[in-house]
Structure 1
Amino acid sequence: MASKAPIPQNDNVAHALAGAGGGILSMVLTYPLITLSTRAQVESKKAETKFIDAVQRIVAREGIAGLYSGINSALFGISVTNFVYYYWYEWTRAFFEKAAAAAGRANRKLTTVESMIAGAIAGSATVIITNPIWVINTRVTTRQKHSQADLEAGKPAASPTTMGTLMSLLRNEGPQALFSGVLPALVLVINPILQYTLFEQMKNAVEKRRKVTPAIAFFLGALGKLFATSVTYPYITVKSQMHVAGSSQSGSKREGMSATLSRVIREEGYSGLYKGIGPKVSQSVLTAALLFAFKDALYAQTIRLRTGRKKVA
């Protein structure tokens, strides 16, 4: 009986498609946690509420749909983000593996330093290309167009649309506003570097002993993301505040990263940098775990489909 052919590991497009698909599936399952953490990040500390209270408040004012504010732009954003990230990561990995082969290195697996360089290149390209999408998503998610009077009266205001938010931003603040928060976003490139580097090294260690199943990938992905998000969370808060700053600081000079960081510490203390960390860590860990579990399965399926089409042709 013929054994199954091994699945190739150097197809950039297949990895990118699998990453995009895995990102969409995992985000759909965890999006309410994103809504809760994002709103907590941009609210004053005085407005901070407990997890259950926050859920009840959103549902009472906006309905269940309020937990999914901005999901359209988020799904588009995560598909583009993951496609770009995994494409460039796999391209860089293939480059290092070819260099290792040319140098006669016995082990062609990426070293920790090579994994970090690949992550930095992929992450930087992703931030520059996708930052405008996430600015719009943050504003839709936090419902910046809703009046406080309507919210206090309990009136369920209509959810701002992605296109409406985009046109309003361009009209009132100019295209440069689409790149608000790009500096802390570039700093946050270290998040997927830490996550993916730790995941790759743990995966390599496990592969020496046994096959990495989707369940094992789920667990390793969760560990990697838990560590990465805990380390970088203050910059996630700063980025979210910079994304929405234009609508609350009209007429005044836009705050930079250092100024935003200093203001949060001055007004709310260091704990203000960790607002919403509970739902964010939960969402990030679940998303990463689901992503890595889905990605491996989707990658294998993508390769099989493409191979099957070539045989038919």
Structure 2
Amino acid sequence: MNVDLESLAEATSGAIGSLISTTILYPLDTCKTKYQAEARSSGRTKYRNLTDVLLEAISNRQVLSLYQGLGTKNLQSFISQFVYFYGYSYFKRLYLEKSGYKSIGTKANLVIAAAAGACTAIATQPLDTASSRMQTSEFGKSKGLLKTLTEGNWSDAFDGLSISLLLTSNPAIQYTVFDQLKQRALKNKQDNADKGTSPASLSAFMAFLLGAISKSIATCLTYPAIRYLNVSSN
């Protein structure tokens, strides 16, 4: 079986980038997850905002507990991004080869992104469930990956899979928006360039900016489902 080296390279780069960003932002992600999954009792909540979660960790001298489950989250993030980037790149390349088109349209892009996202969700759901359970456990009382997953039966590890499949629209929206913004930016850049110059390319800053915009749009549109998934995984 031939290996798609270009897709493999893109997948590896995306996975490594995700690994770094996940590690840097993990304490904030833990605060967010605990805040979202906070169980309500007597009409009151334990945390009023994300700052309360951070202050609790500091007051209990459990700041390092903000990193509980980091290994599982990094594993989940790496596998998730690798599977998604590889699947997306492979399906996109296959579509272009079979269709004969030089570029991919919005509708086809959505379908390809959703298909790659569905494969990713199924492959990484147990790790995502375990990570959420670790993050929402009491500070300093997080269990290991296997112990966390075996607390119930294995079907429990796939709790929230239906919502995760629904959330495949998140990367689908993100990469569709990014691709469309990228095409517009490159077209404008090429139109303003002198004739005979080399093909236009995005600068690192512009790629970062477009990525941030597309991710923000996708997150805003799917936030209700993300919150429900965090609560159901707890």
Q: Give the TM-score of the pair, scaled to structure 2.
A: 0.86
Q: Closer, same or farther in 2 for the Cα pair 1:41/1:50, shift >3 Å?
A: closer
2:164 is matched with 185
Structure 2 counterpart of 1:69, one-letter code: Q
Tell me which of 215, 220, 225 is aligned to 2:215.
Answer: 225
Q: Which structure has the higher relative contact order (CA within 8 Å, separation 6+)?
A: 1
Structure 1 residue 114 displacement after superposition: 1.3
Structure 1 residue 173 displacement after superposition: 1.4
Number of residue pairs aligned between Structure 1 and Structure 2? 216
2:32 is matched with 37
Structure 1 residue 10 displacement after superposition: 7.3
* Aligned mates of 1:11, 1:27 — CA distance in 2: 24
2:230 is matched with 240
Q: Closer, same or farther in 2 for the Cα pair 1:53/1:158, shift >3 Å?
A: closer
* Aligned mates of 2:92, 2:86 — CA distance in 1: 10
1:63-142 correspondence runs (5 A): 63-101=62-100, 105=101, 108-142=102-136
Moved more, 51-60 or 20-29: 51-60
Q: Closer, same or farther in 2 for the Cα pair 1:160/1:52, shift >3 Å?
A: closer
Q: Closer, same or farther in 2 for the Cα pair 1:20/1:38, shift >3 Å?
A: same
2:13 is matched with 18
Structure 1 counterpart of 2:72, one-letter code: S
1:150 is matched with none
* Aligned mates of 1:139, 1:59 — CA distance in 2: 21
SS at match of 1:118: helix
CA contact (8 A) 1:32 1:67 kept: yes
Identity %: 27
SS at match of 2:86: helix
Q: What per-residue deviation string (whole Å, max 9, x for no partner) do you get for residues 265-305 of structure 1?
A: xxxxxxxxxxxxxxxxxxxxxxxxxxxxxxxxxxxxxxxxx
* Aligned mates of 2:156, 2:173 — CA distance in 1: 29
Structure 1 counterpart of 2:210, one-letter code: L
Q: What per-residue deviation string (whole Å, max 9, x for no partner) do you get for residues 217-262 of structure 1?
A: 1111111111111111111111111112xxxxxxxxxxxxxxxxxx
CA contact (8 A) 2:38 2:46 kept: yes
1:194 is matched with 173
Unaligned runs of 5+ in 2: 190-199
Structure 2 counterpart of 1:215, one-letter code: F
Structure 1 counterpart of 2:147, one-letter code: M
* Aligned mates of 2:149, 2:123 — CA distance in 1: 18
2:147 is matched with 167
* Aligned mates of 2:155, 2:58 — CA distance in 1: 34
Q: What per-residue deviation string (whole Å, max 9, x for no partner) do you get for residues 39-58 of structure 1?
A: 11110352232333331112
CA contact (8 A) 1:119 1:193 kept: yes
CA RMSD of aligned residues (A): 1.8
Structure 2 counterpart of 1:98, one-letter code: E
Structure 1 residue 190 displacement after superposition: 0.5
Tell me which of 172, 193, 204 is aligned to 1:214.
Answer: 204
CA contact (8 A) 2:126 2:149 kept: no
Structure 1 residue 69 displacement after superposition: 1.8
Q: Closer, same or farther in 2 for the Cα pair 1:56/1:168, shift >3 Å?
A: closer
Unaligned runs of 5+ in 1: 1-8, 147-156, 245-313
Q: Give the TM-score of the pair, scaled to structure 1.
A: 0.65
1:311 is matched with none
* Aligned mates of 1:236, 1:187 — CA distance in 2: 10
* Aligned mates of 1:131, 1:62 — CA distance in 2: 32
1:154 is matched with none
CA contact (8 A) 2:114 2:169 kept: yes
CA contact (8 A) 1:124 1:189 kept: yes
